[in-house]
Structure formats: C-alpha cells, structure tokens
Structure 1
Amino acid sequence: MSESCNQPNQIPVTPACEVTSMQQMPFYDDSINFRNDNGCPTIKVPVVLTERSIQVVLETDISLSPAATEIKRVTKNVFLNQVKLIPVKFKEIGHTGYFEVQKAKLFISGYIRKNIEYSTAACNGTLQDQIVDIAFSGFAEINKDDFLVYPVIGVSDSSKAYFLNECNEEVPRLDKYFFQNHVKYNEQPYGELLGADFFELDYSPVLTDPEGAFSTLREKIVMDVFVKVLQVQQYKLNAKRVLPNFDEGTIG
C-alpha cells in the first residue's frame, strides 16, 4: 500500500526576520614610499641578562575544614614577590669606574596559590573549595657563562682631605676637612615571570577508608619556575632612520 503524502496538523512555518544590508565599495590602496637616513642612534632599552629555570621543592601540611573524603581538583599559580640580582664578582670596563658583573646570586621569593576542590562525607553535599598560599624563598647561582649580556654597575667613591694648623704646622687641624663625593646611579636589574611547571603528590598522612574523612592534606611539590632577568642599558646602533615619504602636492 502506498503511503499518503498528506501531512495533517502541520505547524505553520514562521519566516526569518529580514535585515537591511549594504554592499561595501572597494577602495584603492597602494604602498607608501619611505625615506632612509643613515645614522648611529643611541638607544636605551631593556636588555635580557639571563633566562633561568629554577627548581623549587616544597613539603607542607594543609588543614581542610570541613574534613574531606575525596580530592576532586587542584589548580595552582605562582606569584613572585622578589627577583633580585646581587653581584659578587666584577671586571672593570677600561678605567671608567663601571664594571661588568661576572658572577651573582639571584634571590627569588614568592608563593604558590593553590585552589583545592574536594567533597565531604555528606550525602549529596556541596563541593568544598579552599585556597591556600604556600610561601617559598631562596637563591640561585648565576655564573659567568649563564649571562647572555653582563649586567653593568658603576661604583661610587668619596675622598677626604686633611689640613695642618696654620699657626703650628706640626699638628693637624681636626675641625677642618675637604670632602668630595662621586656618585653613580645604576639601573636596577629586575625580573619577569615567564611560566612554571608543577609536579606534586597530594595525600592524607593517615590512611583512611573509602568513605572515611581526613582533615589534613600533605603536599610534596616540585615546581620549575622560569624567569627572565633584565637591565636597562644604553647602546649605539648603526641603523637607518625610516620616515614616510608622501607624494608631493601643492603644499610642501
């Protein structure tokens, strides 16, 4: 038996809303000519001194309230409070009073911000969320070969001149001196956070049953944090200054 093509009780189709559109006209475009001027500009820019991967190893106990039966998810971020380069070995640049740093200690401190999501023993209970900050502090050795560019530091100096007594040249005057201070102000090296890798083991220090609860979470974490150390330095370049050269008209 052939099927009927009639479809009773059809729902009427509502047409789509109409919108107004406008066809866009193409514009003519062409390249701009440039004028090159030879020169040796002096620039002052941040220079990358070194890029380091620093491993931080931590162990800590975290209290959970209310107690947990199962850890669902843990997310982490690292925050740096300090990246300080302390020079310990130098090489003078000519006789300028400026020195290249050949060796340094890199002090780093900050904290790992950890977000722990876990469930409790309650039936159909809500998911708990706890945020903790785990602090760390330490230093790394930066040797000569670890620098991409050496940091530069200028050393200040002071001098003091003494005088004899005008009436008795066999004794000095203790109330008269000449002082000279020569001060060099330096650009402070600073750090930038590039990224971090986290490897961790979280567990209850007391073995519990599958439905049991634990209120302490022990964490063993290894973090590789990647930092860039920079200093603003001044350089003279052999470069070309580039200026746009527009087509001539009635003006100019």
Structure 2
Amino acid sequence: MCKKNDQVQPLVCPVVSDQQGSFNDSAVNRVLIPSTATLKVPVVLAERTLQIVVEANVPLNPAATEIKRVHKNAQLTQVKLVPVAFTPIPGTNFFNVTRAKLFVAGTIRKNIEYASVACNAPLVDRIATIPFSGFVELTAGDFLAFPILAASSDATVQFLDDKDDLSPRFDKYFFQNQVNYNEQPYGELIRANFFELDFSPNSVRPGAGFNLLREKIVLDLTLKVLQVQQFEVEGNRVIPSLTNGIVGPGN
C-alpha cells in the first residue's frame, strides 16, 4: 500500500554520448588570375505571385464534431512557358520571347485533424489533395530577362526536267532540315500563402457530427521561371595554392 507522502520516482532513461574533440584548421591560400569566362547558368526569367482560388468538398469518415488543426502545402506538377511573340536577336538565328502564356498546375495537400463524435475518441487524420490549374500572360515588362529560342527550319529544292527544261521533275528533290535544341524554361516553387474558410455546408448544432467539409481557398503562390543561358563574365580565376603536393615541380 502506498502511503500518502510517498513520491513516485521519475523514470531515468540514460543516453550514451561521446564528447568530441576540436580540429585544427587554417585558411587556404588562393592565387587570382585575371580571366574572362563563359558561364552556362540558370537565369531568372520572371518571378511572379499567382493568386489561385479554389473551392472543394472534403468528405469526413468518421464524422467530425470539431476541426482541430489544418496543415497545408502546395505542390507543383507543371510549369510550362508557351511563347507567342518574338523579336530577332541581330547576328544570330535566336529570338527573344517577348510575350508568353505560363501554364501552371499543381495540388494543395491538406492534413486535417479533427475530433470524431465518439466520447474520448482519438483525433482523426484526413489527407486531402485538391488540384488546381490555369495560366497567366507574361508580357515584355514582366520578364526580368527574356527567354531565348532558336527556330528549326526545313527546305526543299526542286529541279527542272533535264530534257526540255520546261517542266519540273517530280521524282527528284533535295531536302535540308536544321534542328536547334533549346534549353527548356522551367519553374521553381518559392512560397505558398494560404487564406481559407472551412465550414460544414449543412448547419449542425454544437456537439453534433458533420461528414462534409466545404473549403474556399485563396492561395498566393510565388514561383520563379528560369532558363539555362550562357554569359561571358570578366573576373579572376581562383586557384587554391596548396603546398606539399605530389605531381609537378616546385612542390
């Protein structure tokens, strides 16, 4: 029998640990060599915030009496740039894209925790995936840097009849086609900001259960559109100056 003044001893859960020693470190000497380099790097074409408005009905089984928490995330499944206007780049066969449609698709993943109608029942976890899709128009002023594309071409050469030079030959052709392979613009998810109203579409009294949750969601989705392009950069090549090497003289 436990006495009134007896105290319950706390449970001790020891963890094995090792104390780490410190390393010595020093800076690496560097040699700077003036140079002009051509870099192939991702370039930000546009950075936009899209306002996406969706409405969805989420069935709840078992029925809920109270929504406790809702965690949300956005996932992109498509970011595609479709050019619709171009200006030539002088001296090249490339064009700047000055207007385009940006198609965006993805899903809103919601984790809904709610209390069910049973007494002392555990919280129920409901995962809901809500799709969205649409497009925006990007004009010249919306681009931070223009996408560049080179067009492919096809040519056909026909010949005259070698007997009378009065009619074309239909059995002799010369074909030429040129295919330019372009860097595909792509998207990068930056931020998702959610505003939403969740409610039962049917009025219920306090403590009663409801099995359908209607959601009106406003999502401000920020993304970048990028394309890999080449740039010539003037600067210094940075080469580590390491001693005690193995290969070459002077070490």
TM-score of the superposed pair, with normalisation by structure 1: 0.85
Q: Which amino acid aligns with 1:84?
A: K
Equivalent position amino acid for 1:238 in 2: E
Distance 1:194 1:124, change over 3 A: same
| Distance in structure 1 (CA, Å) of the matches to 2:174 and 2:51 | 52
Q: Which amino acid aligns with 2:179?
A: V
Q: Which residue of 2 aligns with 1:16?
A: none
Q: How does 1:227-246 map to 2 (within 5 A)?
A: 227-246=223-242
C-alpha distance 115-33 of structure 1, shift in aligned 2 (>3 A): closer
For 1:96, give the aligned amino acid.
T
Distance 1:124 1:243 in 2: 67
Please give the per-residue CA displacement for 1:41-68, whole angstroms capped at 9, x wherever unaligned.
1111111111111110001111111111
User: What SS is found at the alignment partner of 1:145?
Assistant: helix
2:104 aligns to what? 108
Change beyond 3 A, Cα 1:169–1:21: closer
Aligned to 2:46: 50
**Matched residue, 2:165:** 169
- Inter-CA distance 214–147: structure 2 relative to 1 (3 Å threshold): same
Equivalent residue number for residue 6 of structure 2: none
Query: Could you tell me which of 146, 153, 156 is aligned with 2:152?
Result: 156
SS state of the match for residue 205, structure 2?
coil
Other-structure match for 1:225: 221
Q: Distance in 1 between matches of 2:66 and 2:197?
A: 14
Once the two structures are TM-superposed, the CA of residue 33 in structure 1 deviates from its matched residue by 3.5
The structure number with the bigger radius of gyration is 1
Alignment-derived partner of residue 7 in structure 1: none
In structure 1, C-alpha distance between the alignment counterparts of 2:84 and 2:125, rounded to whole Å: 45
Match of 1:197 among 171, 193, 197: 193
Q: Which AA in structure 2 matches 1:235?
A: F
Matches within 5 A, 1:115-194: 115-194=111-190
CA distance in 2, matches of 1:63, 1:22: 53
Amino acid at match of 2:138: I
Q: From the superposition, tell whether residues 171 and 193 of structure 1 become closer, same or farther in structure 2 (CA, over 3 Å).
A: same
Distance, in Å, in 2 between the alignment partners of 1:114 and 1:210 is 25
1:208 to 186, 190, 204: 204
Q: What is the alpha-carbon distance in structure 2 between the residues aligned to residue 173 and residue 247 of structure 1?
A: 74
Check if 1:90 corresponds to 2:86: yes
Distance 1:189 1:136 in 2: 21
**Equivalent position of 1:99 in the other structure:** 95
Specify the SS of the correspondent of 1:167: coil
Q: Distance in 2 between matches of 1:172 and 1:23?
A: 88
The runs of 5 or more residues in structure 1 that have no matched partner are 1-18
Question: Pairwise CA RMSD of aligned residues?
Answer: 2.3
Measure, in 1, the Cα distance between the counterparts of 2:213 and 2:71.
15
SS in 1 for 2:164: coil
Q: What are the ranges of 5 or more consecutive residues in structure 2 without an aligned counterpart?
A: 1-16
Q: Number of paired residues?
A: 232
Q: Which amino acid aligns with 2:45?
A: L
The offset of 1:156, in angstroms, is: 1.0
Extract structure 1 runs of 4+ deviating beyond 6 A: 19-24
Q: Deviation per CA, 1:23-42, whole angstroms, max 9, x where unpaired?
A: 97x95x66443222112111
Distance apart, 1:21 and its partner CA: 8.4
Deviation of 1:251 (Å) = 3.8
CA 1:92–1:20 in 2, change beyond 3 Å: closer, same or farther? closer
Identity rate, percent: 50
- Matched residue SS, 1:228: strand
